[in-house]
Amino acid sequence: MRILLACLLLAACASEPPMPREKLGATEEQFMQARDKCMTETATPYSDPSMGSYPAASGSQKAISCPMYDACMAGQGFQRAANGRFYAPILCRP
C-alpha cells in the first residue's frame, strides 16, 4: 500500500506531460539513444523517509529532473515540437 501511495505522489509531482520532439533527419534509434543518455545523465538519487525501511528510503531510487532532461535533449538536437515524430514518455520531477 505504501509503495502505491509513493507512486501516486511521485506521479502527482511530475511536471506537464512530455511533448513530442523533433530533429530533422533523425531516426527513432537516434532519438532513443539520446533519450537514454539524457535519462542517465539527469537522474539523481532521492530517498523518501515516509517509506520507512523500504529500499526507496535508502536513496536507491532515482528521479529525472525535467528541466535538466529538456536541456540535455535540446543539446542532442531534439527540440520540443507539438507535431514532433518522436515521443517516449518519462516520469520526471519538476
Domain residue ranges in the chain: 2-93
- For cell 525535467, the residue is 66
pTM here?
Answer: 0.67
- Greater confidence, 30 or 91? 30
Could you report how far apart the first and last alpha carbons of the chain are, in Å? 25
Instruction: State pLDDT tens for residues 34-63.
Output: 999 999 999 888 766 655 555 544 556 778
The Cα 19–Cα 2 span in angstroms is 30
